[in-house]
Amino acid sequence: MLLWTRRSRVVLWLVAGVVFTVVVAAPLVMIVLASFAGHWTGVLPGGFTAAHYVDALSGDTFASLSVSVQTGVIASAAAVLLGTWAALAADGAPSRVRQAVGTLFHLPIAVPSVVLGLALLVAFSRPPLALNGTRWIVMAAHLMLLLPFAYSTVSAALARVDPLLAQAAASLGARPARVLLRVRIPVLLPAMSASASLALAMSMGELGATMMLYPPDWRTLPASVFALTDRGQVFLASASTVVLLVVTLAGVVLLGLVRGRGADR
Amino acid sequence: MTGLVFEAAAPARAGRRPQRVRRARLWWLVPPVVVLLGFFGYPLVLVAVQSFTSKSGALTLSVWGDVLGSAEFRDAAWQTVLLALGSTAGCLLLGTFLALAVAFVPFPGARALARLVDTLPAFPSFLIALAFTFLYGSAGVFGAGGFLYSPWGVLLAEVTFYTPFVMRPALAAFGQVPAAQLEVAASLGARPGRVLRQVVLPEALPSLASGACLVLLLTMNEFGIVLFLGAKGVTTLPMLVYGKAIVTFDFPAASVVAMVDVVLSLVLYAGYRRAVASVGGGRRAAVDKA
């Protein structure tokens, strides 16, 4: 539309294609290549093998994968629940309260994850809640990092919902609990599922706060990948990263299926 | 239209509803706010207190003085700001260019590409750093050993990872420019460069600004890439917090750096919110005119 001659279009496509390949495609290809590599001394790797995947799916790295999945599922479920709760509760409030709640729930975005990790470390290494050294401190950090995104997705969806829907249900005699469960929450399901997939992906890849907080028996996969690269086991690290991506994508696709079904109602 | 009707109807509805019921509904806000304050507000307050506490536990300003005066801190702050500004500029250029190519010079598969770009921000940033060690490491495809661990390596990695964050709002904004406007401009004799400058970019400016602010905020706080590249000459503020707290267990000093980092981020975040609000306002105005 912007360029009218065939030649200029082809030139632009070529430039964009090269840039895209170098910037987006090359890193992903490199990781996948490295995860199968037996050795990498020349320009390209050689001695292709699947042994790194066998390693990645056993022992310590598998334990880390399981830790990551558990942390991701629990933290994102909690974040979506809490975010939806806050959005629903703020919905009926006076606009000043609603704005204050919105600002409050968006604030964790503005705080670096490392700083959040430090803050939790400082706060929960002492009574009344000595969570440091347990898995719960990692989950609390993930929850705080995910909460703003869950809240903003759900409250944006809530703003588009026609309030007549809930009013009609109430006028027909449905009690508030029934209106909430049968009308207000079902129309939010697509947004909740979208925020759940975002939260899951973010939690599975989280590094900053986790590096500050993880106890030895609750090391997430990204933290393990860092430990592996630090020790020079880069091929196993690549294989673990690919596994992490595949599991994350599977989770996101699964949540997308739920969303599809929710939309059909 | 419906929005207007409800704004008009809202006061009447509120008036009819007993005050008691509305108060009771506000109580539902308490549990989520308590969780947020307990795991976010309270810890941050303690960090602030910690930054004014000496190692022996006395109240003091000396930690602030020591940290702010140290060359290590000033280097880290300077490098953080430079890296963030450089990455943002790079992302803005690259993201705008790629978005222009996808939006205005469509090719088969452009839509699939746009969807792929949508999913990229869900990837962890350390993935890029890890890939770079194979791409530009000493035994890599473009084997250029020293480059990777210099600030330039970190800069390139951040540009690579954060470009989609500019591309997404840019694509959305370009999608709203009516094709007819471009055709009219071209039929009146404007060359592509002029159409771009006078028709497309003014329309997309607020979206690009909000994308740039977001990237600036995220690159200021980037941790994974710097940690993975382990760049010896590159220390950013988040890395300094990590180093002070986890490597040397100097919590008061780490808290000071953390407070500085939080203040910087909050300022940037306020700018981002303002930019986003202006995008929303601009769009509404455009709709009203139509």
- ipTM of the complex as predicted: 0.84
For residue A125, give Cα distances in angstroms to A111, A122, A199: 20, 6, 26
Distance from CA of A264 to the nearest CA of B (A): 22
Give me the mean pLDDT over the B18-25 stretch: 63
Which positions in chain A touch B42 (Cβ < 8 Å)?
123
Residue from B1, B44, B104, B272 to probe the interface with A (highest A Cβ count within 10 Å)? B44
- pLDDT for res B58: 76
Q: pLDDT per residue over B228-276, tens digit each?
A: 887 667 889 999 999 888 888 888 889 999 999 999 888 888 888 887 7
> With an 8 Å Cβ cutoff, are B130 and A31 in contact?
yes
Q: Is the pLDDT of residue B128 over 60?
A: yes
Question: Taking Cα atoms as reference points, which of A112, A200, A93 lies closest to residue A153?
Answer: A200
Burial class (CB in 10 A: 0-12, 13-18, 19+), A260: exposed
Question: Taking Cα atoms as reference points, which of B223, A225, B154, A22 lies closest to residue A30?
Answer: A22
Which positions in chain B touch A105 (Cβ < 8 Å)?
32, 36
Q: Which amino acid is at B58?
A: A
Which positions in chain A touch B36 (Cβ < 8 Å)?
104-105, 108, 144, 147
- Nearest 5 degrees, angle CA A224-CA A226-CA A228? 70
Quick one: how far is CA B23 from the chain centroid? 37
Per residue, the 3-state secondary structure of A4-54, as one string, reads CCHHHHHHHHHHHHHHHHHHHHHHHHHHHHHHHCCECCCCCCECCCCHHHH
Question: Taking Cα atoms as reference points, which of A74, A115, A88 lies closest to residue B31?
Answer: A88
Residue B95: other Cβ atoms inside 10 A: 27
Give the torsion sign (CA, B236, B242, B245, B251).
Answer: positive
Q: Which residues of chain A are under the pLDDT cut of 70?
A: 1-4, 42-43, 259-265
- pLDDT for res A143: 95
Query: Whole-prediction pTM value?
Result: 0.85
Local confidence band at B11 (pLDDT 50, 70, 90 cut-offs)? very low
Residue A3 sits at the chain B interface (C-beta within 8 Å): yes
Residue bearing tokens 């496509």: A13
- pLDDT for res A12: 81
Paired tokens of B155:
């800069």
> With an 8 Å Cβ cutoff, are A234 and B134 in contact?
yes
Paired tokens of B42:
């309270």
Burial class (CB in 10 A: 0-12, 13-18, 19+), B90: buried
At A39, phi and psi to the nearest 5? Answer: -150, 160
Question: Taking Cα atoms as reference points, which of B51, B69, B250, B230 lies closest to residue B150?
Answer: B230
Which positions in chain A touch B159 (Cβ < 8 Å)?
23
